[in-house]
Amino acid sequence: MRRIAFLATLLAACSFSFAQQPAPAKATSGPSEFKIGGAVPTPLRVTAEDLKKMPRKTLRVDNAHAKRTEVYEGVPLEVLLQKAGVPQGEQVRGPAMTSYVLVEAADDYHVIFSLAELDSSFQDSEVLMADTMDGVPLPTDQGPFKLVAPHEKRPARWVRMVKSITVGRVAN
């Protein structure tokens, strides 16, 4: 009997703490601008309008999940990093070889890339910050900004509803 009373108390305490801290609702749309920050000489805030004025690229990609071909348009991530003053090309050497690029979404999903794998002097990753799909703005549950990594076999580093890009370096 005492054990049951104890369990009841425990249950009440648990539901009390849940009541105190309701889980925040998951975001279902992204912010109207994203940040580029961290270890960058020139932190930026980028709006949809800014993206329209930058060098743009169109990609036709196979979405393995959706099992269809999609056409994305936007600005290469490499171009955005360049604008923020991140080392590129020959500058990606020595300590910069442990630099990483963290991409976070409004729903707190996050992924990382190494700086080197995004640099076209290493490989053509063609990672794109897209703002349109199939010629129209991204649907709200994907945009306004979606990162697309077209050469990957799984779309796990395609980030919907991007809110920030943070450059960091693993201590060495």
**Which one, 14 or 156, has the nearer CB to Mo ion?**
156
Site for Mo ion in 88-147 (CB under 5 A): none
- Contact between 167 and 100 under an 8 Å Cβ cutoff? The reply is yes
**Which one, 64 or 97, has the nearer CB to Mo ion?**
64
Contact flag: residue 64 with Mo ion (CB under 5 A): no
Q: Using CB under 5 A as the criterion, what x/- string covers residues 144-163 for binding Mo ion?
A: ------------x-------
Among 161, 165, 166, 167, binds ligand MTE (CB under 6 A): 161
Among 78, 118, 128, 160, binds ligand MTE (CB under 6 A): 160
CB-closest chain residue to Mo ion: 156
**H/E element, 11:** helix 2-20
- Residue 57's SS3 state is strand
Site for ligand MTE in 26-65 (CB under 6 A): 65
Distances (CA, A) of 153 to 38, 61, 62, 87: 29, 11, 9, 28
CA 137 – CA 120 distance, rounded (Å): 27
**Which one, 110 or 169, has the nearer CB to Mo ion?**
110
**Candidate segments 2-10, 16-24, 53-61, 158-166, binder of ligand MTE by CB under 6 A:** 158-166
Buried b (16+ CB within 10 A) or exposed e, 17-49: eeeeeeeeeebebbbebbbbbbebeeebebebe
Collect all residues with Cβ–Cβ distance below 8 Å to 154 and sequence separation of at least 6.
64, 65
Contact flag: residue 70 with ligand MTE (CB under 6 A): no
- Point out which residues bind Mo ion (CB under 5 A): 156
Binding interface with ligand MTE (CB under 6 A): 65-66, 105, 107, 109, 154-156, 158-161
